[in-house]
Structure 1
Amino acid sequence: MEHPKRPVNAHDQYHAHVYFDNETLAFATDLCTTVGDKFGLKVGRIHQKPVGPHTQWSCQILFSRGEFEELIPWLDKHRGDLSILVHGSTGDDLADHTTNAYWLGDAVELDLSRF
């Protein structure tokens, strides 16, 4: 089995998508809230349904190249068993969710048909 690509700081802007389910909802909510408070980042809604190309429940975190080196190791340490998609935000949605996509934890299948 191929291991997912680990995040690299190669883009100006990023999104991180924290994936969770009903059993991990409270943990994921706390994680995302803490990220917003600790790092002063814009954190999206806690989606309790698939949204966009995301096939699981998720929450989006917006951050930049300058925040990458502190945020990514912190997320990896505190994510528990949650999978997190980290991708560049370049304006090319297909590339951002494939070529520019990196993972903390296991990769989650995305619905790329919308691109």
Structure 2
Amino acid sequence: MTTRPSNNYPQYHAHVYFDKQSLALATSICEQAGELFAVKVGRIHQRLVGPHPRWSCQLSFDSEQFDRLLPWLEANRQGLSVLVHGVTGDDLADHTTHAAWLGDELPLDLAMFMP
């Protein structure tokens, strides 16, 4: 069962996953999130980056923005998967135990976080 996001940390990232067919949708979602919620929008990566299994865009936000942003992302993601995780300084925990999903959970490549 997929864990749903909850507001437990001071800082967060949300990674919106997409492919060539959904690039325009993902770009629009990320840009709108930046405009509507004043979240920091990262690059629209059209390649695999870090542990992410698909192209992605990172949204950076805090616990105050969480409660407004997450319902909007859920309502507007149009089938895209979104990884939401706390930012605590422990990358492995952030992408596993501090992580939750909107949409389908995708397998991450966590090898880069292993000692």
Identity of aligned residues (%): 58
CA drift of 1:41 comes to 1.1
Find the counterpart in structure 2 of residue 105 from structure 1: 103
Of residues 91, 105, 114, the one that matches 2:112 is: 114
TM-score by length of 1: 0.97
For the residue of structure 1 that corresponds to 2:45, the secondary structure is coil
Of residues 5, 13, 16, the one that matches 2:14 is: 16
Find the counterpart in structure 1 of residue 75 from structure 2: 77
Q: Which runs of 5+ in 1 are unaligned?
A: none
Structure 1 runs (4+) deviating above 6 angstroms are none
Count of residues in Structure 1 that have an aligned counterpart in Structure 2:
113
Find the counterpart in structure 2 of residue 56 from structure 1: 54
Instruction: Give distance in 2, aligned partners of 1:41 and 1:11.
Output: 16
For the residue of structure 1 that corresponds to 2:25, the secondary structure is helix
Deviation sequence 1:9-58 (CA, Å, 0-9, x none):
00000000000000100000000000011111110000001100101100
For the residue of structure 2 that corresponds to 1:107, the secondary structure is coil
State the one-letter code of the partner of 2:51: P
